[in-house]
Amino acid sequence: MNAVSASTMKPVSEAVVVGGGPAGSFTAWNLSKLGVETTVFEEHAEIGVPSHCAGHISIRSLRKFGLYPLPKGIVENTFSAANFYSPNGTSFSVRLERPVTCALNRELFDKFLATKAEAAGAHYRLGSRVHSLIIDAGFAKGINIEQASGVESVEAKVVVDAEGISARFVKEAGLAAPRGDGLIYAVEAEVENVRNLETDSVEVFLGKEYAPGFYGWIMPLPNETAKFGLATKTGNPKDLLQKLMFKHPVAAKLLKG
């Protein structure tokens, strides 16, 4: 842990947020609306790049956080149905009267939240990788940022960890890190010329042969494209995705152009 006296630190904000993904930007937006001076530090040079997940989310959840409806272009499709396929070939379908989930363009969604945060007064520092926390008397009092010229220390009253799955700063702060057996590993591709899908239905593939501990999916998008991916607790996700694409009797048929 790093102990740095207050005199060597550079005051920047009442609150600093580590990570400019949805959680970080949403937090920065709400802090700024409350009048808290907030700065977000994002290691990548552009918000939303690279994209980190499929962006399949409950419409109810978005509404709960005051984020739905979203601006045009962010929602790529909405779904009111799902088809489930079990390992033994049994399948069943669920269909509701109205859409309950949607596929988001994650890059545009992340940028939308960052824009809202900036409009409320938050500041963003892109290309700024946080190296470590500044711990003083058992409390996080700021962050250390990697710069070409060296390490810059930034003081803050509040440090918000929105770094994501690596959980480096959770451990550094002496808090319980996520358990390894609770992690899953995912991979996704966008496929073209997909003509055999119901456009308002998500396809879900179960079974340890293709996605141990989780499931595979096909989410139709406009213009005969689809998001095709899976998550797993064990095995190589890329190898399993290839297997699902070419060996699963239903998935192979649905993805055939």
Q: Which amino acid is at 174?
A: G
Read off the pLDDT of each residue in 191-197 and give the average, rounded to a whole number: 96
- The boundaries of the domain holding residue 246 are 65-104+182-255
- Answer with the one of 178, 207, 238 that is the final residue of a domain: 178
Read off the pLDDT of each residue in 190-195 and give the average, rounded to a whole number: 96
| Shared-domain flag, residues 100 and 113 | no
- Prior bond to 222 cis, omega within 30? no
Classify 56 as helix, strand or coil: strand
Q: Can you say whether the dihedral through the CA atoms of 192, 197, 202, 204 is positive or negative?
A: negative
Give the model's confidence band at 10: pLDDT under 50 very low, under 70 low, under 90 confident, else very high.
Answer: low
Instruction: Give how far Cα 211 sits from Cα of 44, 221, 233, 250, 254, Å.
Output: 30, 22, 8, 15, 18
Examine the pLDDT at 2 and tell me if it is beyond 70: no
Q: CA geometry: angle at 190 spanning 187 and 194, to 5°?
A: 130
pLDDT at residue number 257: 66
| Domain containing residue 10: CATH number | 3.50.50.60
| Shared-domain flag, residues 19 and 99 | no
pLDDT at residue number 1: 35
| Shared-domain flag, residues 120 and 40 | yes
| Domain containing residue 203: CATH number | 3.30.9.100
| Shared-domain flag, residues 130 and 234 | no
- C-alpha span between 159 and 113 (Å, rounded): 19
| Shared-domain flag, residues 96 and 128 | no
Give the model's confidence band at 166: pLDDT under 50 very low, under 70 low, under 90 confident, else very high.
Answer: confident
The answer to the question of residue 96 being in a domain is: yes
- Answer with the one of 130, 150, 178 that is the final residue of a domain: 178
Query: What are the tens digits of pLDDT across the range 223-246?
Result: 999 999 999 999 999 999 999 999
| Shared-domain flag, residues 126 and 39 | yes
Residue 129 CB neighbours (<10 A): 13
Give the model's confidence band at 11: pLDDT under 50 very low, under 70 low, under 90 confident, else very high.
Answer: low
Tell which wins on pLDDT, 192 or 168. 192
Query: What are the tens digits of pLDDT across the range 51-66?
Result: 989 999 999 999 999 9
Give the model's confidence band at 149: pLDDT under 50 very low, under 70 low, under 90 confident, else very high.
Answer: confident
- Quote the number of domains for the chain: 2
The answer to the question of residue 1 being in a domain is: no
**Inter-residue contact 39 to 20 (CB < 8 Å):** no
Query: What are the tens digits of pLDDT across the range 61-98?
Result: 999 999 999 999 999 999 999 999 998 889 999 999 99
The answer to the question of residue 55 being in a domain is: no
Per the prediction, the chain carries an average pLDDT of 93
pLDDT at residue number 156: 97
Instruction: Identify the DSSP state of 244.
Output: H
